[in-house]
Copies of this chain bind each other. A is one copy, B any other.
Amino acid sequence: MWKPDRQSAQPLYQQIADNIERRISYGEFPPGSLLPSERKLAEKLGVNRSTVILAYAELRALGIIESRTGSGTRVSKYKWEATPKHTPNWHRYVEGGSFLPNVPFLRRIREVLQKEETMIDFASGELAANLCPVEEINHLMNVKHYTDYLGYDNPQGCAPLRETLVTYLRKYRGIQTTASSILITSGSQQSLYLITQCLLAPGDAVAIEDPSYCYSLPMFQSAGLRLFRLPVDYKGVRPDDIRSLYKKHRIKMVFLNPNFQNPTGTLLDNERRIELLNVVSELGLPIVEDDPFSLTSYNGIPPAPLKSVDSIGSIIYIGSLSKIAASGLRVGWMVAPHSVVERLADARQQMDFGLSIVPQKVAAQFLKSPYIDPHLDRLRMHLLYKRDLLIEALQKELPDLVSFKAPAGGLHLWCKIIPKVNDNKLFEEAIRRGVIFAPGSVYGSDSGYVRFTYARSRADEIAPGIAKFAAALRCILS
């Protein structure tokens, strides 16, 4: 990002004014559009607010921008439209689409993390850089050849990766499948997007765990689906609830994350698994099983997916490398009946013409390489270590104010705040003190819950992060 040059002979305000004028002339801010507030711009550029006030005054004097009380500072229409020309009302277009914007808390999290580099991050549901097999992947990229072809690929995803996944899924997940039943996606998010867009229609009812990361995804609402809740207790969802939702609302699909559920960390109980499969096969109901965390199981024994015992083909199984290797690769997969895979592949062709070949080849190399087992062992040890640091810090800092159950795998700890709190106040106070987390309401829960991701921050940040969190909590409770 551009910053003013403090060494330059030109005053800071003048540099800022020049930069804004250039950005306006490049179309970044068309005539009539809103410029950042003085306070925000000052923060972004790391200058005093008075410097920005001066820069804006300069531009106003030149007729380039206009300020009106209460409506902020805008790019002047007259200066930039000598003849009476009209810039499209972009604002109307931006607000007009039918696709919903992201959840406000999540947009705020992204904004805070982009701006404040020292923020301790318990919010981002991903691995720390040092837990990704970065060296291994770079090594594979440097020694392997990716030459043969760089044209459009098979709509289901590149064949060598699908073949590799057949072996991987059998060995690591106990799933028997074939390359033609696999769709490569850019991750679970794209898998869910294709399913909600292409297999369901507006008005359809679906069942979703409560709480669930699905509530953080406006795609369900954008697709016009009616969402019904399956409460998650310490053994996971109750199969009977599925039956009663079916009777009442004719739900058409069930979305589950049975192993180390996001956000609660719950492992679906074995007896319930059997009962659940009986219920859905009785009703002819399809399950979408999201299985991103199983291989992080801290005891080294990954729980089996429902799909491994799905004898009648009720389950669409989705997995990815995001939570066990590297989210930035953007490689995931779906196992489903061939007719489903074919339909979703066709739709995806229309959306983005398929995935890049490069990360697919890299992923295939990685999954076949001897790196995978040592990487997973190391990942498990680190996650367990960080989980314990988090638990220790919570027990030390907030012994009587929080309650939680230690997860046996995954990236998250789900934590109940015992006294009544205002989620928003706690969130903002924590940010003010340099720590950020995901409020439980993002996942559809009642207020007073917090999801702490311990995978993302550095180990040495965990105790200080919880100390800051504790201070924020005590501050808003006092």
Contact = CB atoms under 8 A, between A and B. Distances in A.
Interface of A: 1-2, 22-23, 25-31, 33, 80-81, 84-91, 93-94, 96-102, 107, 110, 114, 124, 126-127, 129, 132, 134-135, 137-138, 141-143, 145-155, 176-181, 185-187, 189-190, 193, 197-202, 204, 217-219, 222, 252-253, 281-286, 310-315, 322, 326-331, 335-340, 343, 346-347, 349-359, 362
B314 A87 contact: yes
B87 A178 contact: no
Contacts of A88: 284-286, 313-314
Nearest to A320: B353
Max chain B CB contacts within 10 Å: which of A84, A154, A313, A327? A313
B197 A28 contact: no
A330 B351 CA distance: 12
A190 B124 CA distance: 26
Closest A-B pairs by Cβ, 9 of them: A30-B313, A86-B284, A150-B326, A85-B281, A88-B286, A97-B198, A330-B356, A190-B352, A150-B328
The oligomer's copy count stands at 2
B33 A339 contact: yes
A392 to B, nearest CB: 26
A195 B184 CA distance: 24
Nearest to A220: B350
A282 B86 contact: yes
23 contacts: A27-B313, A27-B315, A28-B338, A81-B312, A85-B281, A86-B282, A91-B339, A98-B202, A99-B198, A99-B347, A127-B151, A141-B142, A142-B142, A142-B145, A149-B328, A152-B327, A185-B352, A186-B355, A217-B350, A219-B350, A330-B355, A352-B352, A356-B358
Contact of A90 (B179, B201, B340): B340
A101 B98 CA distance: 20
B338 A29 contact: yes
Contact of A31 (B26, B204, B312): B312
Given A151-B129, A193-B352, A177 B312 contact: no
A150 B132 CA distance: 7
B177 A150 contact: no
A137 B152 contact: no
Contacts of A355: 186, 330, 356
A250 B107 CA distance: 34
Contacts of A181: 23, 26-28
A24 to B, nearest CB: 9
Contacts of A347: 97, 99, 101
Point out which of A26, A186, A357 has the most chain B C-beta atoms below 10 A from its C-beta.
Answer: A26
Contacts of A127: 151
A186 B27 contact: no
A343 B33 CA distance: 15
A129 B98 CA distance: 39
A126 B152 contact: yes
A327 to B, nearest CB: 5
A327 B201 contact: no
Contact of A357 (B28, B328, B346): B328
